[in-house]
Structure 1
Amino acid sequence: MLIQIAHLYASACLGIAFFQVALIAGAPLGAYTQGGRHTGALPTSGRAIAAVSIPLVLLQGLAILSAAGFPGLGWPRWTGWAALALSVVTAVLNAITPSEKERAVWSPITIVLAGMAAYVMIVSG
């Protein structure tokens, strides 16, 4: 079950990366990200933030896969803890965002992701 949870976490991270790509491409989803300051497409600065998010979220997914023992990764254990910490921070930020839409969509998703990361890190001991 450990590797399945890690796979689910990594798959969700991939989905989040695709959401960031959509933001960069100009999708009118600004109300669902970055505090909802922009209701349509993000400005250049917001798109740059989305671009920085992509490698971070992908590395998080790989770190949790590695912590679960996915063959061929073998990353240091601290990377999984860093991914967990970032997941918790993201969940908190999404829970307190002023954007109702962002909070409604991303808060439950990021809370579940943080829980999955915690499960992997605790069970994989």
Structure 2
Amino acid sequence: MGLSLSFAYAYMTLCFGVALFQIALIAGAPWGKITQGGRYEGPLPVSGRIAAAASIVVILAMGLSVMSAAGTWPEWPRWTGFVALGVQALSCIANWITPSSAERRIWGPITSLMLGLAAAVVFQFVR
């Protein structure tokens, strides 16, 4: 397995982790201070849970796009990897500039790692 594919699998694994975090939020985990700008203390309100559900779809699509960019299933067009990279970059920026210091400490480094992995795969810095 090439390094690019290893990075793609690492990215997909992190996407699954983020999806599990979102599922926990939907189920009522009291982590409002470390997501969505830290606006909520405790569990998210219904609107926040709906946003968490939508983000699951987006993050998993991003993971599959990066997997495709690495040359594996689901074999989507290459441009989808660049879209995923752009969304990942926006997510990374948002997590570093959020008013929630807890969110910055947790999600800033995670989304930065995800951005680096996605960029390495999409731009084929590694083979």
TM-score (structure 2 length as normaliser): 0.95
Unaligned residue ranges in structure 2 (runs of 5+): none
Equivalent in the alignment of 2:54: 52
Equivalent in the alignment of 2:79: 78
Q: CA offsets per residue over residues 54-102 of structure 1, 9 Å max, x none? A: 01000000000010011x4210011000000000000000000000100
**Alignment partner of 2:41: what SS?**
coil
The 2-side partners of 1:73 and 1:36 are apart by 35
The 2-side partners of 1:124 and 1:60 are apart by 19
Cα displacement (A) at 1:116:
0.7
Equivalent in the alignment of 1:27: 29
Task: Give the total of aligned pairs.
Answer: 124
Q: Which amino acid aligns with 1:103?
A: R
Alignment of 1:80-119 (within 5 A): 80-119=81-120
Cα displacement (A) at 1:123:
1.0
Unaligned residue ranges in structure 1 (runs of 5+): none
CA contact (8 A) 1:13 1:58 kept: yes
**Alignment partner of 2:123: what SS?**
helix
Match of 2:13 among 11, 25, 28: 11
Q: Which amino acid aligns with 1:62?
A: L
TM-score (structure 1 length as normaliser): 0.96
Cα displacement (A) at 1:119:
0.4
Cα displacement (A) at 1:34:
0.3
Q: Does 1:61 align with 2:63?
A: yes
Q: Which amino acid aligns with 1:13?
A: C
The runs of 4+ residues in structure 1 deviating greater than 3 Å are none
CA contact (8 A) 1:67 1:124 kept: no
**Alignment partner of 1:123: what SS?**
coil
Cα displacement (A) at 1:124:
6.9
